[in-house]
């Protein structure tokens, strides 16, 4: 459980179980595609995270737990010992700045393509094609494919992939891990009735649809204490063709089940700026606060002012910032000093594979 040693505001310290965060600002996980074809963390990535290490908590970009989990060009992985070793330069850089960093664990599921998998189809809870225009692959833009439904006996193998990835994360020096169960990726696909039409123990009822996620959490507790494991959810999101009519019932149930586990935090994309399914009123942090008693991170579209309101009102304990952190590596200092924020970066540079649009943003006054 969390405790507070200072007044509640965005820049006050926060005790995240046994971890002392210097403020309540979180660097949101953002895929930035700088890991190269070998999907290895590198010096450029270490510089990027180090530049933003004034955040109380940093969460890495989504990191694939297996080759099967890949679905994004030049995103990092942690499914080999070499990849795990490469991440050490990032964790060292962050710890040298006195900051805390969690690794986000990722399997893209149907949000992938056979071009990532030597011609093998991507996998999903059910053989339902993601509705979208195209996907970027190592071979260029491709039409989306109907995924292969996972056999029940394959699911424990993926759970083991999560466990091994979490083990490598610990060996690489991370302070904890976040399970990516949001934004239409594999675990989210299992949670949501829109994408999960299974009739085995992983489909149908809320209990069954939540089973995979809970099995992953349980597997990770063999490596990490639950106080070092976070989970990310996106109850309002439409990204990757998500949004289920029973979203409110689903995510209330999921949060209630996670509440029993003593997690480090629940990371909720409560904003709608990333795409809203418009199936009803957006779920709020208050709804999650009613069923989840541990630390809550709010995310998506927050400003300094709205973040302060959420924290002072007790709706969230921490707030994650994404886009503002891209073009403002010194975002915390700008908040603290009332300095103007730089304009949002050109989206065309977000995934340039180079330092442009990544580590070349100026600190305040160009210093």
- By annotation, the residues acting in catalysis are 185
Measured CA to CA, the distance from residue 236 to residue 291 in angstroms comes to 17
- From the CA atom positions of the chain, what is the Rg in Å? 19
Measured CA to CA, the distance from residue 65 to residue 105 in angstroms comes to 6
Residue whose C-alpha is closest to residue 21's, from 84, 138, 102, 125: 102
Measured CA to CA, the distance from residue 272 to residue 284 in angstroms comes to 11
Residue whose C-alpha is closest to residue 184's, from 277, 61, 77, 318: 277
Q: Please provide residue 140's backbone torsions phi and psi, each rounded to the nearest 5 degrees.
A: 100, -170
CA distances from 326 to 6, 47, 256, 265, 329 (A): 28, 13, 33, 24, 6
Measured CA to CA, the distance from residue 265 to residue 56 in angstroms comes to 14
DSSP lists the bridge partners of residue 135 as: 142
CA distances from 26 to 53, 88, 237, 360 (A): 10, 20, 20, 21
What DSSP assignment string belongs to 323-354? HHHHH-TTHHHHHHHTPPPPPPPPGGGTT-SS
Measured CA to CA, the distance from residue 255 to residue 258 in angstroms comes to 5
Residue whose C-alpha is closest to residue 246's, from 269, 268, 282, 279: 279
What DSSP assignment string belongs to 76-95? -B-SSHHHHHHTHHHHHHHH
Measured CA to CA, the distance from residue 360 to residue 344 in angstroms comes to 13
Note the helical H segments in 22-75: 43-51
Measured CA to CA, the distance from residue 102 to residue 121 in angstroms comes to 30
């Amino acid at each position: 459980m969390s405790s507070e040693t200072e007044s509640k505001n965005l820049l006050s310290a926060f005790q995240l179980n046994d971890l002392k965060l210097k403020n309540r600002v979180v660097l949101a996980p953002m895929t930035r595609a700088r890991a190269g074809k070998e999907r290895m963390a590198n010096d450029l990535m270490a510089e990027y995270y180090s530049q933003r290490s004034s955040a109380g908590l940093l969460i890495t970009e989504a990191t694939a737990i297996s080759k099967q989990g890949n679905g994004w060009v030049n995103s990092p992985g942690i499914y080999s010992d070499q990849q795990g070793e490469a991440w050490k330069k990032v964790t060292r850089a962050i710890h040298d700045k006195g900051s805390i960093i969690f690794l986000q664990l990722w399997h893209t599921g149907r949000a992938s393509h056979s071009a990532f998998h030597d011609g093998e189809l991507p996998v999903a809870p059910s053989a339902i094609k993601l509705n979208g225009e195209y996907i970027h692959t190592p071979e260029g833009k491709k039409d989306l494919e109907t995924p292969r439904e996972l056999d029940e006996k394959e699911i424990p193998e993926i759970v083991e992939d999560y466990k091994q990835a979490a083990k490598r994360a610990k060996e690489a020096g991370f302070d904890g891990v976040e399970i990516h169960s949001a934004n239409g990726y594999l675990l989210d696909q299992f949670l949501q009735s829109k994408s999960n039409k299974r009739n085995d123990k992983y489909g149908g009822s809320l209990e069954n649809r939540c089973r995979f996620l809970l099995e992953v959490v349980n597997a990770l507790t063999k490596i990490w204490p639950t106080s070092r494991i976070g989970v990310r959810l996106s109850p309002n999101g439409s990204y990757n063709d998500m949004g289920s009519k029973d979203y409110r019932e689903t995510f209330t149930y999921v949060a209630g089940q996670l509440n029993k586990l003593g997690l480090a935090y629940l990371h909720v994309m409560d904003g709608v700026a990333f795409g809203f399914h418009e199936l009803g009123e957006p779920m709020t942090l208050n709804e999650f606060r009613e069923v989840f008693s541990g630390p809550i991170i709010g995310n998506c579209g927050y400003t300094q002012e709205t973040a302060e309101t959420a924290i002072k009102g007790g709706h969230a304990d921490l707030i994650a910032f994404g886009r503002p952190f891209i073009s403002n590596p010194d975002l915390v200092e700008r908040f603290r000093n009332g300095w103007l924020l730089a304009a949002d970066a050109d989206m065309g540079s977000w995934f340039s594979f180079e330092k442009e649009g990544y580590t070349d943003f100026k600190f305040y006054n160009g210093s």
